[in-house]
Amino acid sequence: MRFFSRAADPYERAKILIPALFIMFVVVVGGFIAESVSENKAREQLLAAVNRSITVRFEGRTLARSTSILAVLRSLHHVWPHHTGPTNPLCLELVAADTTIAITIAHDSDTPGEYWVYRPGHNCHDDPLGQEAGRINNPTLDTLLPWPVR
């Protein structure tokens, strides 16, 4: 109890608090770095899959405007968080000559024309949509994809 007493030496407190604050800082910054590296890797893998893909499927059916959808998906990039979230997720498949890659695209909850893009996989937030790969800012996706009625 001496640590919390008023008569305790302030240097004694500092010997404990400064290392504790440093450790907390390292953990928080390390978390941000790990999340950024994970998103960058997911985006690189997804963009590589988009570049190899020929068509886009939804519920087993090839979408008529696959070429346009793939062109919009190439604009995938990082967006700094702005306290919104994904809504109305849509699961698609990118079909290449030899592989099929699943992705999920969701509307942003607040910003019209912004879409969250995910690929299946582990993520540090245990997000059921998967691993975030970035966002797309292009309102034409509303006309290109078969979104459910909101």
Give residue-wise pLDDT tens across range 48-105: 889 999 999 999 999 999 999 999 999 999 888 788 999 999 999 999 988 999 999 9
Q: Residue 86 forms beta bridges with which residues? A: 108
For the stretch 125-141, pLDDT in tens is 667 788 889 999 999 99
For the stretch 82-96, pLDDT in tens is 889 999 999 999 999
- Residue 58 is encoded by which pair of tokens? 């939804």
Spatial distance between the Cα atoms of 70 and 148, rounded to a whole number of angstroms: 20
- Domain positions in the chain: 2-144
Q: Which of 69, 58, 41 is nearest to 136 (CA)?
A: 69
Name residues whose C-beta falls within 8 Å of residue 30's C-beta, 6 or more positions apart in sequence.
none
Spatial distance between the Cα atoms of 63 and 140, rounded to a whole number of angstroms: 15
- Residue 53 is encoded by which pair of tokens? 């893909």
pLDDT interval class at 107 (50, 70, 90): very high
